[in-house]
Structure 1
Amino acid sequence: MVKGYITAISISEKKGQKKHNIESAQLRVDHGMVGDAHAGQWHRQISLLGIASIDYMRNQGVNVKPGDFAENITVEGIVLYELPVGTQLQLGNEVLLEVTQIGKECHHGCEIMKQVGSCIMPTQGIFAKVLKDGIIQVGDAVCILND
């Protein structure tokens, strides 16, 4: 069983706002992260990004931190964008996610794209829906269940 851990949890209360980091969050089935503006009953309830992807952009000279790519959960130890759609991830002891999409088109006017001419979200960010409710915290394990 491949295992990583949560290095950051990020949320924004309104769309268009920069996400800020929090220590824990409640995830709800058919919704996503409680209090996050991007939550809702759709296939992209939770966004995840690997810390290695953020480090890659830092090495390109961009001053970024977890949450700056609008991801909800930053993970270390798992190459998220290599997971197939349908993969189930357990976060902590309670939460169960299912990967629904790999990558997304950058929104028009992405600040990172303007700065360096490339962005990692189109190829390295992933999206998931919540299958089982629970609370997650920074430092919680992330396990691939159907590896």
Structure 2
Amino acid sequence: MKKIGMVLDINVSEKKGVVKKPVEKGIFKEDYGLEGDAHAGKWHRQVSLLGIESYRKMKDLGIKGLSHGDFAENITTEGIILHELPVGTRLRIGETIQEVTQIGKQCHTGCAISQQVGKCIMPKEGIFTKVVKGGVVKQGDIIEVLE
């Protein structure tokens, strides 16, 4: 049975360590990342993803007023527990194919996200990908885990 999820939002920022703002669609370039985003480049963490399921955990902890992009993720998803995917997993997201390169990360000390939100879930539950095949990704696109 295929794992299928959905893109809730595409988020970008021009600087690292800040909250990202939703955009209508993202143009993802092969071996580069999301056009116009500070984290894009020729490295292993070109795109960051975080599930709405992680947002719900934060809300359950009493954190109010969260918006997609608050944890600096490029793609807010629903329907797949992202941090359970092994490194090397390939995902078809909209027109793109992306490969999981890292689960979680070390958080910047006192980054804008933890200052604003009080705690960041990205270090444990966010995932990072590199773009294997470029294309457009927009809200409502399907995410498919490729076998």
Shared fold, TM over 0.5: yes
Secondary structure in 2 aligned to 1:122? Answer: helix
- 2:93–2:143 contact (8 Å) kept in structure 1: yes
Measured against aligned partners, the alpha-carbon deviations of 1:21-67 in whole angstroms (never above 9, x if no partner) come to: 01101000111000101100000000000001011111212232110
TM-score (norm 2): 0.92
Read off the aligned partner of 1:14 and give its amino acid letter.
K
Of stretches 25-34 and 60-69 in structure 1, the one that deviates more from structure 2 is 60-69
Residue of structure 1 equivalent to 2:35: 34
Read off the aligned partner of 1:77 and give its amino acid letter.
G
Unaligned runs of 5+ residues in structure 2 are none
Rounded Cα–Cα distance in structure 1 between residues aligned with 2:46 and 2:114: 24
Deviation at 1:110, TM superposition (A): 3.4
- 1:62–1:115 contact (8 Å) kept in structure 2: no
Residue of structure 1 equivalent to 2:85: 83
Structure 1 residue ranges (4+ consecutive) displaced by more than 2 angstroms after TM superposition: 14-18, 110-119
Secondary structure in 1 aligned to 2:108? Answer: coil
Secondary structure in 2 aligned to 1:42? Answer: coil
Q: How many residues align?
A: 145
Unaligned runs of 5+ residues in structure 1 are none
Give aligned-pair identity as a percent. Answer: 54
- 1:91–1:143 contact (8 Å) kept in structure 2: yes
Deviation at 1:15, TM superposition (A): 2.7
Residue of structure 1 equivalent to 2:52: 51
- TM alignment of 1:1-147, pairs within 5 A: 1-63=2-64, 64-92=66-94, 94-110=95-111, 113=114, 118-146=119-147
Measured against aligned partners, the alpha-carbon deviations of 1:75-100 in whole angstroms (never above 9, x if no partner) come to: 100000000000000012x2000000
TM-score (norm 1): 0.92
Rounded Cα–Cα distance in structure 2 between residues aligned with 1:7 and 1:81: 17
- Coordinate RMSD, CA, aligned: 1.6
